[in-house]
């Protein structure tokens, strides 16, 4: 998908948190690199799981699932790609796309009006918990209603008992991510990249790698 569909230098996801996003301030190790690859694609496994699900749920005919997302170029393209792949490889499963303006998307997602939702999200602060906290049982952004006592306990430990223990806290968050993905609480697809051209004479500009913003408070043009 990243190579043939998006074609924007995005990387296939290795987990909720990809490489080169968060660094351990004590060990200088990258969170994504240390966690390794926690995602994979296997069409045969997906087909077997779908076949088993149809049998266990006694599904007859075509099953329809609503995929909810918001209206942007990347989201629309990604949703259409998912729809095409599902229709190609999973017989008798139909994905119905609902693509809304962002405000309407958030309203419907919060109300649980979806079978699957597709969203892009950036960290608010430079720490893995910024993303992992989204899927805590009591998170207002946990629209898929993922619940795991073990996951919640690790987040609580990372922000409580281990809050001042850099290495232990890091390990708590890595373990939490492993649980989230093992449970299929989410299905990360890709990590976006920002591509831009900058005048080599422009100095002092600060790039926010988390949000993709630019700050020009101290910027100037070199003569």
Predicted confidence (pLDDT) per residue in 137-160, tens digit: 999 999 999 999 999 999 999 999
> Does residue 13 belong to any structural domain of this protein?
yes
Domain-located, residue 20: yes
Asked, for residue 180, whether it belongs to a domain, the answer is no
Burial environment of residue 223 by CB neighbours within 10 A (0 to 12, 13 to 18, 19 or more): exposed
Spatial CA neighbour of 129 closest among 193, 192, 180, 77? 180
The answer to whether residue 153 sits within a structural domain is no
Q: Which of these ranges, 24-33, 99-108, 130-139, 205-214, has the smallest mean pLDDT?
A: 205-214
CATH code at position 37: 3.10.105.10
Rounded mean pLDDT, 176-204: 91
Residue 210 has pLDDT above 70, yes or no: no
Q: What is the mean pLDDT of the chain?
A: 93
pLDDT in tens, 37-59: 999 999 999 999 999 999 999 99
pLDDT of residue 206: 76
Identify whether residues 112 and 217 lie together within a single domain: no
DSSP H or E segment with residue 48: helix 43-56
Among 113-122, 125-134, 184-193, 210-219, the range scoring the smallest mean pLDDT is 210-219
Residues 28 and 117 in one domain: yes
Q: Does one domain contain both 200 and 122?
A: no
Q: Give Cα separations from 61 to 36, 64, 91 (angstroms).
A: 40, 10, 10
Please check whether residue 156 lies inside any domain of the structure: no
pLDDT at 9: 82
Same domain as 20, residue 120? yes
Confidence of residue 209 (pLDDT cuts 50, 70, 90): low
Same domain, 116 and 7: yes
200 assigned to some structural domain: yes
Total domains present in the chain: 2
The reported pTM is: 0.86
Q: Domain of 71?
A: 2-127+138-145+186-192
Distance (Å, whole) CA 124 – CA 63: 37
Which of the four pLDDT bands, split at 50, 70 and 90, describes residue 5? confident
* 21, two tokens: 């996003």
Domain contains 175:
no
Is 106 found in the same domain as 201? no
- Residues 71, 99: contact at Cβ < 8 Å? yes
The answer on pLDDT for 208 being more than 70 is no
Q: Is residue 79 part of a domain?
A: yes
Asked if 67 contacts 98 with a C-beta cutoff of 8 angstroms, the reply is yes
Measuring CA to CA, how many Å separate 190 from each of 1, 14, 17, 120, 159?
9, 8, 10, 9, 27
pLDDT given at position 89: 98
Q: For the segment 15-32, what is each residue's pLDDT rounded down to a tens digit? A: 999 988 888 888 889 999
pLDDT at 211 over 80: no
Q: Is the same domain home to 120 and 10?
A: yes
Residue 170 pLDDT grade (very low, low, confident, very high; cuts 50, 70, 90) = very high
């Amino acid at each position: 998908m990243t190579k043939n569909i998006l074609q924007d230098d995005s990387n296939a996801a290795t987990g909720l948190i990809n490489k080169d996003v968060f660094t351990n301030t004590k060990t200088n190790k990258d969170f994504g690199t240390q966690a390794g690859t926690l995602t994979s694609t296997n069409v045969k496994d997906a087909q077997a799981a779908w076949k088993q699900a149809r049998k266990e749920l006694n599904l007859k005919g075509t099953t329809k699932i609503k995929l909810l997302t918001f209206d942007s170029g990347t989201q629309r393209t990604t949703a259409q790609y998912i729809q095409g792949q599902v229709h190609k490889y999973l017989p008798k499963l139909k994905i119905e796309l609902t693509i809304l303006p962002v405000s309407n998307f958030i309203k419907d997602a919060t109300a649980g009006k979806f079978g699957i939702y597709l969203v892009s999200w950036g960290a608010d602060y430079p720490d893995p918990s910024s993303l992992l906290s989204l899927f805590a049982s009591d998170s207002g952004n946990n629209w898929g209603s993922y619940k795991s006592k073990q996951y919640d306990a690790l987040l609580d430990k990372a922000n409580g008992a281990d809050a001042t223990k850099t290495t232990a806290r890091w390990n708590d968050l890595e373990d939490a991510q492993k649980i989230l993905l093992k449970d299929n609480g989410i299905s990360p697809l890709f990590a976006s990249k920002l591509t831009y051209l900058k005048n080599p004479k422009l100095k002092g500009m600060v790039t926010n790698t988390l949000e993709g913003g630019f700050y020009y408070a101290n910027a100037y043009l070199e003569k």
